[in-house]
Each structure stands twice: as C-alpha cells, then as structure tokens.
Chain A
Amino acid sequence: MSSHSTDQAAPAILAEVRPASIPRRELVENHRDFHWITEKICGIVEGKTPTWWWWCFGAAAFVASFTVSGLIYLVSTGVGVWGHANPVNWAWDIVNFVFWIGIGHAGTLISAILCLLRQKWRTSINRPAEAMTIFAVVCAAIFPVFHVGRIWFAVMPGYLFPFPNSNGIWQNFRSPLEWDVFAVSTYGTVSVLFWYIGLIPDLGTLRDRFTSTGNIVKARIYGFFAMGWRGSNRQWSNYEMAYLILAGIATPLVLSVHTIVSFDFAVSLIPGWHTTIFPPYFVAGAIFSGFGMVLTLMLPLRAIYRLEDVITQYHIDCMCKITLATGTMVGYAYSMEFFIAWYGANPYEGFAFINRAFGHYAWAYWIMITCNVITPQFFWFKSVRENTTLVWILCIFVNVGMWFERFVIIVTSLARDFLPSSWGYYSPSIVEIFTFFGTFGVFSFLFLLFIRFLPIMPMSEIKMVIPAADPHGADHH
C-alpha cells in the first residue's frame, strides 16, 4: 500500500503530532453506493415520462410561443414594433441579451472554476448548470440576431453571415461589439463542447444499460453519441487531462466574456457607462444571477426526483454562500459607482447617478437595490438556507433584480445623456414584453427536454467523490 507514497524523509516531529480531524461534510448522504447512483440517474431517463413533465412541457411550449409569435410579427412588420426610439435605441433587446448571458455564467463557473479549485461539491450540480448555460446562451442569442430587423439579410451570404460585408469593407476590429461577437460565440461553442465531453461516459453507461435490456434503438442512439466509450483507464487518463485543460481554458473564458460584454458599454462615452469598474462588476453580477438561476432550477429538481442524497443541504449552503458573496460584491459596486461619480467631479457622471436613484426611473433602481443588495443578505442565516422554499423565493428576487440591473444601467444612461434637448423616456411595447416573457418558455422547453433524455447528473463524477472510490481505503496518503 505504500508503493505510491513519496519517499521524502518526514520530520521526526510528525510522529508525535496528532492533527485534529475535521470531518468533511458527506457529498453523498446515507452511504449510497455506486449502483444506487447509476440506478437513480439512469432511472430518470429510462422510466416512463411522468405526467407532471407533460404538463410542464405543454406550459413551456405555450409560453415559448409568445417569443415565436413576437419574432414573426417583428420580422413581418419591422423592428419598429419594439419600443425603441431616440434617444433610447438600445433597450430591452440588449437588456435581455446581457441578462441571459449573465445567467449562463454560473454554469461555467461551477464546471470550470470550481473544478480547478477542487470544490468537490460541484459534481452533482455541474451537468444541469452547464445545460442551463447553453440554453441561456440560446435565449440570449435571439435578441442580437433579431434586432437587426430584416433577418433574411442576415442569412444571405455576404450581408451578416459569415461576416457583415455589405459595403465591401472589413469589420472594425477596434470595436468592442466585434469583440463581443467573438467572445459570445466562443463561449457558446466551448460550453457545448465542455458539456458534451462530460456527457460521454454517462452516455456510455446508458448505452450499455439499454443494450442489456434489449432496447436496441435507444442503445444505438446513445451509443452513437457515446463514441464507443468503454471506461478503460488508458482512456480515462487522456479524458481527465482533456477535462482539466478545458476547465483551465473555460475559466479565463468565462471571466473574459462578461468583461467584453461590459466593454460594449464602458468603452463608450455615455455617462454612467464610461467607468472602469464595469468588467469586475459585470462578472460578479453574472455569477450572482447565474447562481440565483441554478438554485431556482435545482431546488424543484431535487424535490421532484428525490435527489436529497446527492444535492444535500451542504450543496445548498455552498450555493447560497456564493450568492451572498457575489451579491455583496454587486452591492459594493453600486456604492463605489456613486462614490466615483462624486469623487470624479464630472457633472454629467454625477447627474447620471443622482438621476438613477431619484429620477424618472427611480422605481427600477430601487427594485434593483432591494432585490440584489438586500435579498442575498438573508443567506447569512443558517435557518434561511435550510428552508428550501424560502431560498427558492429569494432566488426569484435575485433573478428579477439582475434583470432590473441591466435595465437601469442601459436605459437610464441613454434616456438622460449630455443634452437635455435629446432626453426622453422609454417604455417597452407589448411585443417586446411578450417576446422576452416567451424566452422563459424557450429556456424551460429546452431544459425539460434535457432532464427527460439525458443523465441530469454526471454519474462518473459523483461516484468519484464517495468514500468507496478511494483506492487507498482508510490509510490515506
């Protein structure tokens, strides 16, 4: 048993030291074994479609039809059906885009950053969180694609796809909007790749189970995507390395994406946008909103599928604490923006912030402050974190608050820029409201398909963190 241990001479004192043993919280409760994990996760895919699933699926499809109708109306009539007008030409479309992209960030944070930091509790939530990322990016992509109005030009070669070249000149690569295209499309692509790589071993498990029960059609379909994975250690060795590298590159990626999204604003000269705090502030806000959404999705999933043994109270505690930490960072950023607006002595900047808090959009500002700064503070209390219903409700407030944050930043700054002659007030049109409302249906539609047809948790990774997985038994090196 000692063949693997290092040969370094230990200091003599080590024999006398009796380190206090600090018990770690179990990541899988009730001493569940490998087989239980396989049965639990595969059982969801293999079992009959539950009735509640059909009801939810129908509801999601109905809500999603609002987006579809809104977009059909937009394309057939013109982009004027949205409420944009001078001076607010960036409104709900970009608010919704930034909102959904931000939601996605928690998925990558859980799968990449927590992997590098060896936070083992990530294992049972990373798969649904990554799925959430991909579906959030899909919802986000709807808005920039359709805000161009005449969408048929976008798909015509040479106009927008593969690159906009209608004037016969190249793109301006100095523009943050151009950077944003690269950042978001890279983010979407890498998120899908990362998610798929994580799925391969579990798809192999499903393939073999369907083969052994004689369901050849499903075995073929899952087998096709499992690529012939056979769980050999020589494969795992390369797989683990690839996974680690993907985590290593997804970490700077996730930090860069919202940084570049914030550049869309920060590089302009509009008061309230032109600030250096934007990149870290946007990243913290994105993670905050993402964890709000992860909890919003995980808690019902845990209750419906009785997953309390794998999504334990410890997992919920960890997620609540990250929400608390990032929410507090966002609160700090709000106050620091005010401080700099005063300290910078720029009258336009100062006015922009006074106007946010006390101007025509004060209602939105105070919704934002209440939801984003006050709501997460409840997570200081253990009794709150243990009340899952309350946690879920608080997370809904977080989601609402983070949408309003983007609205406040974008709309208040544009509605009141330098010249009072160009001031205005923006209200969304009913088409905009319905289109945005429908994206929650699009998101739920995709997420429901995911939980029905794919293993919702990475079985191989959960098996790795239970005590029986340790090849050295009790005498740990």
Chain B
Amino acid sequence: MKKNYGIVAAFDTTPALYHACEQVRDAGYSQWDALTPFPIHGLDFAMGVRRSKVPRFSLAGGITGFCTGMSLIWWANAYEYPLVVGGKPYFSPMFAFPISYELTILFTAFATIGGMFLLNKLPMHYHPVLKAPQFVRAMDDRFYIVIEANDPKFNPAQTRALLEQAGGKDIAEIDE
C-alpha cells in the first residue's frame, strides 16, 4: 500500500508563494518546504527558516587548514629534519604564511561544501517529490509548497483547506 508523503500546492508567482509561506508558517507547521527553481530573496524569513549553519563548518575548516600549514612546515623544516637554508631560522611564521594561507582557503572550501552537503542531506537520489510528475516545473518556472504527512499538525482536510485559502493551485497528494 502506498503511503501518503504529503500535500503539494502550486503557485505561479513569487509574491503568491511568499505570502502563502507566511500563512503556512503562522499556522504552525514544521515539516514542510517550498520548492523553487531559484533562491527567493527573503523566503527564509517567510518560512521561518533559521540562519544556515554552514559557516560553522567553514570556520572549523579554515582553522584546521591554517594550523595544518603552520605545523607541517614547522615539523618538516624545524623538527623532523632541521636544515639551514641561507642562514635563516628553522621556522618563522613569516615564510610559513603563504602556504598556511592557501591551505586555510583549501580546507575552508572543502569544509563549506561538505557542510552544505551534510546539512542538505545530499546526495539523496531518492525523494518522494523527485518522482512527482509536477516536479519538473519546480525546476523551471513554478513554485510549490509541500506539507509533509508526518507533521504533527497535518490533517488532510485542514491542510488542504489552508493551502487553498493561501492561493495554492493544482493541490495534490504525493506518495511516499
């Protein structure tokens, strides 16, 4: 037996989607999302989505990268095999800086992308909305709101009524 994943409603314009999101947010839903072909300015606020946590990963990556650069150079040139080059000190943060700087950037990039994938739970090649036939337009020119059936406030009739009242079109249920 197919399990109901949730209810999807379509919107034709960004202002319509924006106001509908505000209404769904104010109705107290938590397990829902808006599907849009491009990021819409201010939609996080309309949906009540908190600021992204990606920067925490970036900061951790950046600090790791900088420390890796500094300690690698100290370890190699001053500890493991001290070598006099041009009568200069075995280690100085000055000459170690350019490489540490590049490694800061390299590690930040990987941490940022890794963090983004982790928070977005990507890669996820199977998802109920991906096989819904109307979905092709969510990547093109139409905007959708999906309210999941496992939301504590979900009620097939009431949720449908809310989406209708918010101006949603082509309201349909999608299977798990």
Contact = CB atoms under 8 A, between A and B. Distances in A.
B77 A170 contact: yes
Contacts of A233: 21, 33-36, 39-40, 43-44, 47, 49
A471 B42 contact: yes
Nearest to A464: B38
A471 B40 contact: yes
Contact of A245 (B17, B19, B38, B55): B55
A284 interface: no
Interface in B129-148: 129-130, 133, 135-136, 138-141, 146
Interface in B26-68: 33-47, 49, 51-55, 58, 62
A245 B80 CA distance: 36
Interface string A1-20: 10110000000000000000
Interface residues of A, number: 69
Interface in A162-180: 169-174, 176, 178-179
Given A238-B52, A241-B52, A179 B136 contact: no
Contact residues of A: prevailing secondary structure: helix
Contacts of A249: 58, 62, 105, 108-109, 112
Interface residues of B, number: 75
Interface in B114-132: 115-117, 119-120, 122-127, 129-130
Interface in A294-319: none
Interface string A46-72: 000000000000000000000000000
Nearest to A458: B38
A208 B139 CA distance: 8
Interface of B: 13-15, 17-19, 21-22, 33-47, 49, 51-55, 58, 62, 73, 76-77, 80-81, 83, 85-86, 88, 95-96, 98-99, 101-103, 105-106, 108-110, 112-113, 115-117, 119-120, 122-127, 129-130, 133, 135-136, 138-141, 146
7 contacts: A34-B140, A228-B124, A231-B35, A241-B52, A245-B55, A245-B108, A464-B41
Interface of A: 1, 3-4, 33-35, 38, 169-174, 176, 178-179, 182-183, 186, 189-190, 193-194, 197, 201, 204-205, 208-209, 211-212, 223-224, 227-242, 245-246, 249-250, 252-253, 256, 260, 263, 459-461, 463-464, 468-473
Given A232-B33, A464-B39, 16 more contacts: A35-B141, A170-B76, A174-B77, A182-B103, A186-B102, A186-B103, A193-B110, A201-B38, A227-B125, A228-B130, A230-B135, A249-B109, A461-B38, A468-B14, A471-B41, A471-B42
